[in-house]
């Protein structure tokens, strides 16, 4: 229970940063729009070809599409991390400032997108071809991968490392602060699910239920649900990005940054050594 309360405090601090600097939400917004376009233009046709039995042209198109989606997601996530880092250091940060860092690290972003896409495809093949055992192992590996690579984006944004170095660095930081990372992630995900995703789902099904009796009201509820769901997803992405930068500094340097206090960060996880906390 104490760990949940501490995680809730970390989530609130992340929200306070986003509330004071709402421009940060533009990074996942722009990335989401481009992701949707790329999914429709590239991934969609590839999946259609595969479903139509045309595996030879469809499969490569889907793989290329997933790679492009990974590039887009990483590009804007790195921009968000760079902007948040500037804000934590008391500097002004615009979308242009963040994306300038993304452009400067475009090689690292391409490399990380290639690595993550390859890993994702391996997991997908294991799940689809390995039967029940493969599905179980694939899901376990997916969870492990998402945890170990949670700090990959701030590592790229701040250190500018290549894919292998980024994986090693993120993995090292994960091992040092794994308890806090899970606490913060669960808290942010729980808050967004409770306040955003759950109401959106309820509104969606309410709209479907009312559609036959009142098509206007039903359609209105469905539209509101979709907007609420999309907004919640954007906020969740921004909060995770903000928290990731704070955790990166604490895990790597033992330093508290922004509104996060040493007590909040330290109480969520047992330290494994390293420097005493400092304040940035």
What are 69-90's pLDDT values in tens digits?
999 999 999 999 999 999 998 8
Look at residue 274 in the predicted model and tell me its pLDDT.
46
Proportion of the chain above pLDDT 70, given as a percent? 85
Look at residue 184 in the predicted model and tell me its pLDDT.
60
Look at residue 178 in the predicted model and tell me its pLDDT.
63
H/E segment holding residue 279: strand 278-279
Look at residue 271 in the predicted model and tell me its pLDDT.
45
Tell me how crowded residue 137 is: count the other CB atoms within 10 A of its CB: 14
Look at residue 162 in the predicted model and tell me its pLDDT.
94
Look at residue 6 in the predicted model and tell me its pLDDT.
65
Q: Is the pLDDT of residue 3 over 60?
A: no
In this prediction, residues 225-245 reach a mean pLDDT of 86
Phi, psi of 255 (to 5 degrees): -110, 135
Q: Which residues, listed in sequence order, are joined to residue 278 by a DSSP beta bridge?
A: 255
In this prediction, residues 53-61 reach a mean pLDDT of 88
Residue recorded with tokens 């890993």: 119
Look at residue 250 in the predicted model and tell me its pLDDT.
81
What's the structural domain count of the chain? Answer: 1
Residue recorded with tokens 């907007």: 227
Confidence of residue 196 (pLDDT cuts 50, 70, 90): confident
Proportion of the chain above pLDDT 90, given as a percent? 40
Between 159 and 186, where is the model more confident?
A: 159
Mean pLDDT, the chain, rounded, equals 84
3-state SS, 218-239, equals HHHHHHHHHHHHHHHHHHHHHH
Look at residue 183 in the predicted model and tell me its pLDDT.
60
Confidence of residue 185 (pLDDT cuts 50, 70, 90): low
Look at residue 2 in the predicted model and tell me its pLDDT.
59
Q: Is the pLDDT of residue 154 over 50?
A: yes
Which domain range does residue 256 map to? 2-279
How far is the CA of 91 from the CAs of 27, 169, 262, 267, in angstroms? 18, 26, 21, 28
Look at residue 268 in the predicted model and tell me its pLDDT.
43
In this prediction, residues 115-122 reach a mean pLDDT of 94
In this prediction, residues 227-235 reach a mean pLDDT of 84
Look at residue 23 in the predicted model and tell me its pLDDT.
93
* Structural Rg of the chain based on CA atoms: 20
Is residue 200 within 8 A of residue 232, CB to CB? The reply is yes
Q: Is the pLDDT of residue 204 over 60?
A: yes
């Amino acid at each position: 229970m104490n760990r949940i309360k501490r995680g809730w405090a970390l989530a609130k601090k992340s929200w306070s940063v986003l509330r004071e600097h709402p421009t940060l939400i533009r990074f996942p917004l722009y990335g989401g729009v481009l992701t949707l376009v790329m999914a429709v233009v590239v991934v969609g046709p590839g999946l259609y070809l595969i479903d139509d039995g045309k595996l030879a042209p469809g499969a490569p198109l889907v793989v290329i599409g997933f790679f492009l989606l990974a590039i887009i997601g990483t590009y804007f996530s790195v921009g968000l991390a760079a902007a948040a880092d500037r804000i934590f250091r008391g500097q002004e940060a615009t979308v242009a400032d963040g994306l300038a860092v993304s452009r400067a690290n475009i090689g690292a972003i391409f490399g990380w997108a290639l690595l993550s896409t390859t890993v994702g495809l391996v997991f997908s093949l294991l799940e689809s071809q390995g039967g029940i055992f493969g599905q179980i192992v694939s899901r376990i590996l997916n969870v492990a991968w998402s945890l170990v690579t949670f700090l990959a984006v701030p590592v790229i944004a701040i250190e500018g490392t290549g894919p292998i170095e980024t994986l090693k660095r993120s993995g090292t930081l994960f091992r040092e602060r794994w308890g806090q990372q899970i606490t913060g992630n669960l808290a942010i995900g729980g808050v967004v699910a409770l306040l955003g995703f759950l109401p959106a789902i309820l509104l969606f099904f309410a709209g479907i239920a009312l559609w036959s009796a009142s098509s206007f009201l039903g359609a209105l509820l469905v539209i509101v649900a979709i907007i609420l769901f999309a907004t919640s997803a954007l906020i969740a992405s921004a909060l995770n990005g903000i928290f990731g930068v704070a955790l990166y500094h604490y895990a790597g340097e033992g330093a508290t940054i922004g509104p996060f206090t040493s007590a909040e960060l330290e109480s969520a996880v047992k330290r494994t050594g390293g420097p005493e906390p400092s304040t940035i």
